[in-house]
Structure 1
Amino acid sequence: MANAASGMAVHDDCKLKFLELKTKRTYRYIVYKIEEKQKQVTVEKLGEPGQSYEDFTACLPADECRYAVYDFEFLTEGNVPKSRIFFIAWSPDTSKVRSKMIYASSKDKFRRELDGIQIELQATDPSEMDLDVFKSRAK
């Protein structure tokens, strides 16, 4: 079903892979890309469970927008292991205006398709989504 705001559909694989991340912890992260020609959001990259936060950030292009989901694991103050699923809207200042507009207008509908997102981040440069930001938001 196309998004009324931008006309973007969400590929079934997007929801399927997210469900695997959420329920089975099959992936550490998922990077999503809008394919303008097909008018849909698709899975661009899947991160293996053992991959690090640095591996994840290296997948985000410096001058193109993306959506991403990251399964952030941490210890509470009482040393209890927990995890939070973050949705990241990556929109670097150096990306094209048209791209920023398409990603911005499609974001809410796409995010609603991924049931189980716990925290949302909007980032225009890597410092807005560094590990300290994740740690402070995950509590």
Structure 2
Amino acid sequence: MKVRKAQANDEKRKKAVLFCLSEDKKQIIMEEGREILQGEEGDPYLKFVKMLPPDDCRYALYDATYETKETKKEDLVFIFWAPESAPLKSKMIYASSKDAIKKKFTGENPELRSVVFVY
């Protein structure tokens, strides 16, 4: 995702990616077809919210852009999605493996600054 600042010719950079557990629940994998590329049409945040399943848990990385009074900023945000309607077993598995995936992200990408938990 955000390994370096975006360049004019860097249109393949990912804006958002969803991660799920493999079928055997032993690995965290990038969910096939669940990503938003930088520069796609429409509001990337609205697309991202629509990608989140209403009845199961997920992890996500979102490259957020926002403005303060002084400047425009970008932060890579880690999201743990655990809706109330998700099965209890799924919530427990995702919650217990959350630290493992966070360590992978912070080890490889020092720009990961924010952690958001949505229940």
State the TM-score, normalizing by the size of structure 2.
0.81
Q: Which amino acid aligns with 1:53?
A: Y
Higher mean alpha-carbon deviation, 35-44 vs 60-69, is at 35-44
* Alignment counterpart, residue 101 of structure 1, candidates 79, 86, 92: 92
> What residue is the counterpart of 2:82 in the other structure?
91
Give per-residue Cα distances to partners, 1:91-136, cap 9 Å, x unaligned: 0110011100000000011111002321001101xxxxxxxxxxxx
Gap runs ≥5 in structure 2? 7-12
* Alignment counterpart, residue 53 of structure 1, candidates 17, 27, 45: 45
- Pairwise CA RMSD of aligned residues? 1.4
Specify the SS of the correspondent of 2:53: coil
Gap runs ≥5 in structure 1? 1-20, 125-139
Q: How many residues align?
A: 103
State the TM-score, normalizing by the size of structure 1.
0.70
Counterpart Cα distance in 2 of 1:118 and 1:57: 20
Specify the SS of the correspondent of 2:14: coil
Structure with a larger share of its residues in helix: 1
* Alignment counterpart, residue 113 of structure 1, candidates 89, 104, 112: 104
> What residue is the counterpart of 1:30 in the other structure?
17
Give per-residue Cα distances to partners, 1:32-80, cap 9 Å, x unaligned: 00114161111112211135100001110001000001010012202x2
Counterpart Cα distance in 1 of 2:98 and 2:84: 17
Is 1:82 matched up with 2:73? Answer: yes
